[in-house]
A and B are shown apart, each in its own frame.
Chain A
């Protein structure tokens, strides 16, 4: 069974930085695009960023563009999200999710358990 395990969440002050990691196993990581999706406590899901299998294509939500950087290391089966200039509204559970997109659809078939990021002074 595919496994995705996030780490790196925690409490950070507004304006601070944090780096999230996602360790993948039991599938060929280098063959899949990967994503970060977040969920504000008690609210809906928000797509944050995507990276293609070879890192050739990278996309960000408007809400994080210029502040967050997604990256991956296929040799280490790992996905990362470098977050800077954090704001209170970035407080959320961040999920790592394996994705698949084609011309007609885009879905996330496996998700990690999430890591909580709290931005507060």
Chain B
């Protein structure tokens, strides 16, 4: 089955911009979705589709895609953005839905 690859850890200085990436063949065909997960909590959807934010998600979160890579960008990272970020997409081979391994974001 296809896989989605994420960097295990990324750090960003407070107020700076950070890009978290997700790579996989399925992203050439399907949009990625992104989830924020804080310790001990359930994931929260932050980006879906081409670049859509659910109600209540700050506009500093945005999504983009190019080739086999999807990106989640946080413009002006805040302390409360420190969390794990997971991507997922549809898949045509193997399982119909696939997740990345997650990226731990540290805000310095």
User: Which residues of A are at the interface with B, using a C-beta cutoff of 8 A?
Assistant: 35, 37, 43-47, 50, 59, 61-62, 95, 101, 104-114
Query: Complex formed: what's the CA distance from A74 to B95 in Å?
Result: 25
Chain A-chain B contacts (Cβ-Cβ < 8 Å), number: 75
Sampled A-B contacts (7; CB under 8 Å): A44-B100, A46-B99, A47-B97, A95-B43, A104-B31, A105-B48, A107-B49
**Are B88 and A106 in touch, CB under 8 angstroms?**
yes
Using an 8 Å CB-CB cutoff, how does the interface string of B22-57 with A read, 1 for contact, 0 for none?
000000001111010000011111001100001000
Q: Which of B33, B94, B98, B101 contacts A107 (CB 8 A)?
A: B33
Contact B99 A44 (CB under 8 A): yes
Would you call A107 and B45 a contact (CB within 8 A)?
yes
Chain B residues with a Cβ under 8 A of chain A = 1, 30-33, 35, 41-45, 48-49, 54, 86, 88-90, 94-102
CB B68 to nearest CB in A, in angstroms, measures: 16
Measured CA separation A105–B34 after assembly (Å): 12
Excluding A101-B90, A105-B90, 10 further A-B contacts by CB distance (< 8 Å) are: A35-B97, A44-B102, A46-B99, A59-B96, A62-B94, A62-B95, A95-B43, A106-B96, A107-B33, A108-B43
